[in-house]
Amino acid sequence: GEDVEQSLFLSVREGDSSVINCTYTDSSSTYLYWYKQEPGAGLQLLTYIFSNMDMKQDQRLTVLLNKKDKHLSLRIADTQTGDSAIYFCAESYSGGGADGLTFGKGTHLIIQP
Amino acid sequence: EAGVAQSPRYKIIEKRQSVAFWCNPISGHATLYWYQQILGQGPKLLIQFQNNGVVDDSQLPKDRFSAERLKGVDSTLKIQPAKLEDSAVYLCASSSRLDGEQYFGPGTRLTVT
């Protein structure tokens, strides 16, 4: 079955880079996503990547995909206090709003001053 | 553009009682999803609608959960009777084929005592 794994916590100092990792098991996953959830708020899509890509960059965010190892990472450059949140990795087969998402348990990003 | 609306935001009920949640998706979005997010976990898809038809309800506990989207716009999710393990945040999301992104509402936090 489908499974998405993430480490539960990551602590970084303000100004450093944060790297959040995710592994997935479904080799048919076509779209991989990173969502951000702040306390009491809904989920916000940060970025996504197609499985035929290995990297995507969007301002401070860099997504790396190793399809062979089924490993996805999100790098946040120059981490700020506003980046403190839970980050979810998610996958879907067809994307484009056609499929429900399978989420990991989320990584709590803690920012130290 | 208004986002996905959900109500109520919070609900406390006793076990064996019934409860209903309401979702109003973004105008024009044909696809609507209900997710259950238990504390400390990622969201889990319960049901997906395309207009007023069910696309996927494989993870919906049909003995107690039901959902409808009669006119292809608003949706309600009902639990009858509730169990302690139903305590969670219930998230509604919607998407259109145009950009495929799933937009999430703020969720309804259910506590079953």
pLDDT at B89 over 80: yes
Of A42, A96, A103, the CB nearest to B42: A103
pLDDT at A96 over 90: no
Residue with tokens 């995710």: A22
Nearest to B76 by CA among B58, B103, B49: B49
**Residue B54 and residue A50: Cα distance in Å, rounded?**
26
Shortest CA distance from B36: residue in chain A: A103
Amino acid at position B62, single letter: K
pLDDT at A1 over 60: no
Partners of A98 on chain B (C-beta within 8 Å) are 31, 97, 100
Ordered strands of the B19-24 beta sheet: B5-7, B19-24, B75-79, B65-68
Q: How big, in percent rounded to 5, are the helix, strand and coil portions of chain B? A: 5, 50, 50
pLDDT at A97 over 70: no
Interface contact flag, A95 B100, Cβ < 8 Å? yes
Q: Is the N-terminal amide bond of A113 cis, ω within 30° of 0? A: no
Tell me if B45 sits within 8 A of B59, measured CB to CB.
Answer: yes
Of A97, A102, A104, the CB nearest to B102: A97
**Residue B113 and residue A64: Cα distance in Å, rounded?**
43
Interface contact flag, B43 A101, Cβ < 8 Å? yes
**Residue B106 and residue B102: Cα distance in Å, rounded?**
13
pLDDT at B41 over 60: yes
Tell me if A18 sits within 8 A of A83, measured CB to CB.
Answer: yes
| B3-23 confidence digits (pLDDT tens) | 999 999 999 999 999 999 999
Residue A69: the pLDDT is: 92
Interface contact flag, A100 B40, Cβ < 8 Å? no
Partners of A44 on chain B (C-beta within 8 Å) are 104
